[in-house]
Each structure stands twice: as structure tokens, then as C-alpha cells.
Amino acid sequence: MLLTVAFISDVARAAPPLTTKDCLNCHNMTPTAAQKAEAVSLYVNARLFQSSVHASLGCTSCHSDIEAFPHIPKPSRVACGKCHVSAENDFGQSIHALKWDMQKLKYPACLNCHGNPHGIAKVQTAVWQTRIGVATCGTCHKERLRSYWDTFHGQVTGLGFVATAQCWSCHENHGILSSSDPASSIAPQNLIATCSKCHHGVTRSFVTFEPHPNPHDRGLNPTLYYTALAMNLLLLSVFAFFGLHTLLWLVRSWFEKNHNSAASQSGRRE
């Protein structure tokens, strides 16, 4: 074992630095059944990687402990915070990080939101802002996403406009905190400042707006619940009334047509 490590180290010192092409010569090959069973996939989709935000950096920028081939069998875990210092600091104080420390399988870390590490897309693009990013939040916050699409913000986002509020516009991106945390962007005392990022002249009454309305939840907002119920009943009543009116009109027309036809035939016989 020691001889193997020594051999790899000697090769690493003698060999020229690895390029992305060198890495993809092996890692772009279709994985075997045994490799697919590994907890961490060794397969890298070259086309996906070349279109990713990290393509220009090269493999060894993240996998810095790999210097040559053959390389160590189990490289160290990539630390996103090596480059993304500010994002890591913000995330470290967030509700996601606190929950992740307690229950790793349930709460998100970097790759849960940003996806395949070898295919991370630019978050500044319109497609990411209006589709991918919002849908990513919705993988955990399903009810919140459903109610978001019903709002003005959600409907404008659904049309493809970036210049409106998405999830992170109000909740922040990496430094997401519980609304009960005084430092949270959605804590009651901070709502005016948060809404003022887009809306000018925000008042205390303005921030009483419900950003995630649910007309089916009577406990959350009784006024909205009963208003929606009344509107639905009114709509059904209108359709029922005019549907019955149309049906009766058709029946009346059918009787009149048959009566006129019978009277016409009787007149011809006379």
C-alpha cells in the first residue's frame, strides 16, 4: 500500500498538470454497473459540463488534490466555500444549514439547490430565474410554490419576466432565516425594508399583503376563504341559471318547431 502511494506521488510530481480533456477521457465514459452503485458517481457528462458555469475553471480547480494520473482513489470532498466564501458564510448561519446539521438527508445543502456539480447553470439567466430556481425551491416547499403561482409576482414570473419578485427576492438566497429570527428579511420588523427593495413608499399597511394566499385555508385568512367561497358559489349559480335557461329555451324551441310543422301540414290538407 505504501509503495502504491509512493508510486502515485512520484508520478504526480513528474507528470504535467492534468487538463479537463485528460479527466474527461475517463470520466465521460459510460459508467459500469459497479460504478453506478457507488454513492458518488464518477461519470461526468462532457456536454453538460462544457455548458456549465465552472467549465472555464477546469476540473483541478475544484479537485485540487488530484495532480496527475493515476490519482489517489478517493479524492477529498470538494469545498464550495473555497471560492464562494460569502455564500458559505451566509449559508452557515441560515435555517437550512442549522437543519442540515441535525438531519442531513432532509434539508438542503449546495448541490440540492444548484444541482449536478458538473452541470451547474448560471443563476443570472432568465431561464434559471423564472423556471429552474423557483421550481427548485418548490421541490421542498410545494404548498408555498403553489400559492406563489396564484399571486401577481408568480404570474408575471410564469410569463418569463425576470424583473419581479422570486423566492430569493424576499427570503434571500443563501442566508435564509426563519421569520421568527429578528435578523430575517421576512421578520415583521424588516418587511418594510424588504419590500422597499422593489416598491417605493412602502407603508405599514402595505406589508400586511399576504404573499402566499391560500383561499382553501380558512384558518390562515378567513376573509379570503369566505370571499373565494362566495365568488365560487356566485360563478356556479350564474352558470347553473343560464345553463337551465338555455336548456328550457331549447325545449321551448323544439315544441314550437314541432307545433308549427304540424300546423303547416294541417293547413296543406285543408
H-only helix segments in the chain: 2-14, 20-27, 33-36, 46-50, 59-62, 85-92, 95-102, 110-114, 126-127, 133-138, 142-149, 152-158, 167-171, 191-195, 222-269
pLDDT for the residue numbered 15 = 62
- Residues 221 and 159 sit within 8 Å (Cβ to Cβ): no
- Residues 225 and 218 sit within 8 Å (Cβ to Cβ): yes
Q: Where are the domains of the chain?
A: 2-78, 82-208, 218-255
What pLDDT digit, counting tens, does each position of 114-150 carry? Answer: 988 899 999 989 999 999 999 999 999 999 999 999 8
User: Count of CB atoms within 10 A of residue 122's CB?
Assistant: 11
Q: Which 3 state secondary structure label does DSSP give 169? A: helix
CA atoms of 121 and 197, how far apart (whole Å):
26
What pLDDT digit, counting tens, does each position of 38-71 carry? Answer: 777 788 989 999 999 999 988 989 998 888 888 8
CA atoms of 244 and 195, how far apart (whole Å):
48
Band of pLDDT at residue 266, cut at 50, 70 and 90: low
Q: Which 3 state secondary structure label does DSSP give 164? A: coil
Band of pLDDT at residue 14, cut at 50, 70 and 90: low
pLDDT for the residue numbered 67 = 83
pLDDT for the residue numbered 148 = 94
- Give the position of cell 408555498: 144
User: Count of CB atoms within 10 A of residue 230's CB?
Assistant: 10
pLDDT for the residue numbered 38 = 75
pLDDT for the residue numbered 2 = 44
pLDDT for the residue numbered 152 = 92
- Give the position of cell 290538407: 269
pLDDT for the residue numbered 187 = 95
Mean pLDDT of the chain: 86
Provide the 8-state DSSP code for 86.
Answer: H
Band of pLDDT at residue 262, cut at 50, 70 and 90: low
pLDDT for the residue numbered 142 = 92
Mean pLDDT of 78-107: 85
Mean pLDDT lowest among 21-30, 34-43, 56-65, 189-198: 34-43
Q: Which amino acid is at 51?
A: S
Please state, for a pLDDT cut of 70, what percent of the chain lies above it.
Answer: 88
